[in-house]
Amino acid sequence: MTRIHPTSIIDPSARIADGVIVGPWCVVGAESVIGEGTELRSHVIVGPNTTLGRQNVVHPFAVVGGDPQDMKYRGEKTWLEMGDRNQVREHASIHRGTGSGGGRTKIGSENLIMAVAHVAHDCVIGNGVVLANNVMLAGHVHVEDFAGIGGAAGVHHFGRVGTCAFVGAMARCSKDVPPYMIVEGNPAEVRGHNHIAMKRRGYTDEDVDAMKEAYKQLFRDKGGSMLDKVAALRSRYGRSRPVQTLCDMVLEAGAGVNGRALEVHRTDDKRASRVATATRAPLHPGGAAGRP
């Protein structure tokens, strides 16, 4: 049975499924959808055009589907989509997408987003991800399945965190984080392979051992080019899907088709925005914008 506290405000266009619990002083925006069994504990803000799947729990003072913090955003209709069984803890903020970034922020299922974590516009979060307290994801970040990010770590615009990777607390990730690796520091650097996550996810001992060798060859050995190292790993571990995934991401980052290499598009958008602002007619003739 759906229960909505009388102090909460639900937009008439919002759709509330069976079994939803909306606690006191919550707000649900226009055209939002709250899935079956989801609970908004209290003082939760669900922005417009936000879809929450089934059995999510959103804790007090969280903002889910808020307006993006982006100077290019001009009020265009954008969305946030969240899957099932996510935990969003106190004061966390998850923002909708932007028109220039595809318009959609996406959160998968069974994620834990801890207190005061921030997921910015146009991010894509997979399944089984853990974002610890105060994690900061800038716009367009992609976090793949089963990755973990430690407290107060920050990931730069367009950064990519690979599957089963772990980012240490307070790390500054200015580069992509390879899958199955552990990164720490400022700036973050690869420190080892995440054998614990691999074992928890059921990878074989052979895959874990192969990843250990891949870590050594790619990130510890100083001689040889990255292309040669990847080719050698592909040949030696052709049957190890995790090693092939690691090699794929290393090559994609170098080729500029994923991750931080896409920053150039944001730079182009900012330049176009500045030009448009500089050439825009003044709102009030004779005001500061109209002076020679």
Give the residue numbers marked as catalytic.
121-122, 139
Phi, psi torsion values for 277, nearest 5 degrees: -65, -40
What CA dihedral angle connects 32, 34, 35 and 41, to 10 degrees?
Answer: 160
Determine the Cα–Cα distance for residues 59 and 195; give it in Å rounded to an integer: 32
Show the DSSP H helices in the chain as ranges: 195-200, 205-215, 226-236, 241-255, 263-279
List the one residue out of 79, 152, 162 whose CA is nearest residue 118.
152
Tell me the C-alpha distance between 109 and 107, whole Å.
7
Question: Where do we find the tokens 């996810």?
Answer: 201
Please, what is the angle between helix 241-255 and helix 226-236, to 10°? 160
- Count Cβ atoms below 10 Å from residue 65 Cβ, excluding itself: 25
DSSP letter string over 161-178? E-TT-EE-TT-EE-S-B-
Owner of token pair 């994923």: 258
